[in-house]
Amino acid sequence: MPNEEYNDVEGGLGIIARRVIAYIVLILLTFLCLFWFYLLFINSTRSHAELNRGFTLMPSKYLVQNFNNVIHGTQPIMTGMRNSFLVAALCAILSTYFSAMTAYAIHVYDFKAKKAIFTFILAVMMIPTQVTALGFIKLIGNLKLMNSFIPLIVPSIAAPATFYYMKQYMESALPHAIVEAARIDGSSEWRTFNTISLPIMKPAIAVQMIFTFVANWNNYFTPALVLSKDNMKTLPILIAQLRAADFLKFDMGQVYVTIALSIAPVIIVYLFLSRSIVGGVAVGSVKG
């Protein structure tokens, strides 16, 4: 009996020690993740001269001035934010929806070219965007789509990585029996996909919408090739122009405020969609 009590005490201390280590690691990781946001906020409150003097952890008094300089500056920052949000939101919605539809077709239907199409879609992921950039620019030039959001939005519908994620999620979350039951009940394929399959896919859709939104919000390469008018440019282009300004016009305080403004919509979208992720996981655990 004493040996059993000793083993129980030792086991309890081991569990406590592991919990303490886990909490320490999590606190450290949280600090490392949030510290850079804090540093961004601090630098947003400092003037260009203060930023040149070095690093500090204490905020300054130039936040409002920097913000006003950004709003009333030479670069149309608010217009750029509107353009970026429009492009990123439409890309996220269209890419996720049509990728889910494609994954649904590959998952549910059986046809001869199924494996070949699946392999081809995966092979497209191996082709970098830069390889096709020259032909892409020539194509949209012939279609007279330069300085338009259409070349940024429409190609995003074909997203092999999003399709693959959706397909793998359907393998575990969407049994064929559910689709067959809906067909027996007289549900059309369109209704089955939109009212039965998509709600089941809500966690995967939320994850991919976050990834797609962030990727297109931060995208600099393609918009820089397509957009040249100031009122059409997205936020990453305008931030790059702020950083590339000549010595007399360069203001690091404005750059930090602009970066802070660019992060805010991404955080809002994540907080909005993360509830769907948590809710979907909770529902799945209850069903399980």
For 40-72, the pLDDT digits (tens) are 888 888 888 888 888 788 888 888 888 888 888
At residue 262, the pLDDT reads: 86
Looking at residues 173-181, what average pLDDT do you find? 86
- Fold classified for 66-287: MetI-like fold (1.10.3720)
Looking at residues 254-277, what average pLDDT do you find? 84
Interatomic CA distance for residues 219 and 239, integer angstroms: 12
At residue 283, the pLDDT reads: 42
For 1-40, the pLDDT digits (tens) are 555 555 555 556 677 888 889 899 999 999 988 888 888 8
Cβ atoms within 10 Å, residue 56 = 13
Q: Read out DSSP for 48-112?
A: HHHHHH---SS--S-HHHHHHHHHTSSS-HHHHHHHHHHHHHHHHHHHHHHHHHHHHHHHH---T
For 85-107, the pLDDT digits (tens) are 999 999 999 999 999 999 998 98
Residue 83, token pair as written in the block? 């353009």
For 211-249, the pLDDT digits (tens) are 999 999 988 888 988 988 888 889 888 888 877 766 656
Percent helix, strand, coil in the chain, to 5, is: 80, 0, 20
Most confident segment among 13-22, 73-82, 159-168, 251-260: 159-168
Interatomic CA distance for residues 143 and 146, integer angstroms: 8
At residue 125, the pLDDT reads: 82
Distances (CA, A) of 57 to 32, 37, 42, 46: 15, 12, 7, 11
At residue 286, the pLDDT reads: 37
At residue 4, the pLDDT reads: 55
Cβ atoms within 10 Å, residue 108 = 18
CB contact set of 221 (below 8 Å; sequence gap of 6+): 129, 130, 133
At residue 281, the pLDDT reads: 46
Q: 209-240 burial, b for 16+ CB within 10 Å, e for fewer?
A: bbbbbbbbbebeebbebbbeeeebbbbbbbbe
At residue 261, the pLDDT reads: 86
Looking at residues 112-134, what average pLDDT do you find? 85
For 190-203, the pLDDT digits (tens) are 898 988 888 888 88
Question: Does the pLDDT of residue 128 top 70, yes or no?
Answer: yes
At residue 97, the pLDDT reads: 93
Domain ranges of the chain: 2-44, 66-287
